[in-house]
Structure 1
Amino acid sequence: MNAKRYTLPKKEIIKKSREITQIIKTSNSISGDLVKIYFRILPERDIITRVAFAVSKKVKPIVLKNRAKRLLREVYRLNKHKLIDLLSLKNRSIDMVMLFIGDREIIKRLKYADVEKDFLQSVEKISKLINES
């Protein structure tokens, strides 16, 4: 039985702001209620699937901004295998930026299940786009 590893190594995280900006400006996007995902589908499977997490600078205090980013990271970490399995079937890879959409009040009452539901709906939309191409 093949056990899934629910990890998020540093090599899978996009850190450079130039790369993040390039993905946002030149790629497709899918919006949910809480998360907007900018993504670029790469043709080769050799490249690692990478991700960046972002929250608007307008979200104050920083504690709430960090909470939103932490929830985004956790949702991705526990559900990335669904996206990667789909991409490996098509021999593809993906770079994406997960942007939290929402204000202070939304973050205060935000639950993990809400973010996970939104992320999984976005993955379904991405899978439809991949299957069409």
Structure 2
Amino acid sequence: MSSQQPKNERLPKNEILRGKKCFETVFSGGDVVFGKIMSIRFIKAEDRRAAFAVSKKAGNAVKRNRIKRLLREIYRKNRQQIGNFWIVFIVSRKQDRINFTSLQEEFLHLILRAELVIEKERS
């Protein structure tokens, strides 16, 4: 057995955006950036939180849940690059092939366009 403990890489529950008022805040006062597969709505906040929504137009429940799982994984792996924003990721279009790679490329493209990425200090 290894003496090193595995690093906890879970997405904390306190980083999930929940509640009607939070969504209303993001949708009414936030900005939006559109992409080919998805759009993001965001607003500057004191902490970092995210929500994931997939329209019924994107397919049946199995497909929608898979897309949400992929988005959560992409967010989890890239969340350290994102500043303090409340973000809602919305997939609203039906795509023939939505896979991890295409979603990740779109995700990274949109967070860069929305300027949600933390600038690293240069030494």
Tell me the distance in 1 between the aligned counterparts of 2:25 and 2:116.
24
Tell me the distance in 1 between the aligned counterparts of 2:69 and 2:20.
19
- Count of residue pairs brought into register by the alignment: 113
Select the residue among 86, 94, 104 that pairs with 1:95. 86
Which residues of structure 1 form unaligned runs of 5+? 88-92
Tell me the distance in 2 between the aligned counterparts of 1:128 and 1:13.
17
Shift, 1:15, TM fit? 1.9
Tell me the distance in 1 between the aligned counterparts of 2:40 and 2:74.
13
Shift, 1:5, TM fit? 5.7
Percent identical among aligned pairs is: 30
Q: Secondary structure, in 3 states, of the residue corresponding to 1:22?
A: helix
Taking structure 1 as the reference length, the TM-score comes to: 0.73
Which of the two has higher C-alpha Rg?
A: 2
Shift, 1:101, TM fit? 2.8
Q: Secondary structure, in 3 states, of the residue corresponding to 2:89?
A: strand
Taking structure 2 as the reference length, the TM-score comes to: 0.79
Tell me the distance in 1 between the aligned counterparts of 2:30 and 2:50.
13
RCO greater where, 1 or 2, for CA within 8 Å and sep 6 or more? 1
Which structure has the highest helix share of the two?
1
**Is the 1:51–1:97 Cα contact (8 Å) retained in structure 2?**
yes
- Deviation track 1:24-77 (CA, whole Å, cap 9, x = no partner) reads 2221011111121100013xxxx3200111011344421111111111111111
Could you say which residue in structure 1 is the equivalent of 2:38?
35
Question: Structure 1 residues 114 and 129 mapped into 2: Cα distance closer, same or farther (>3 Å)?
Answer: closer
Tell me the distance in 2 between the aligned counterparts of 1:82 and 1:130.
6
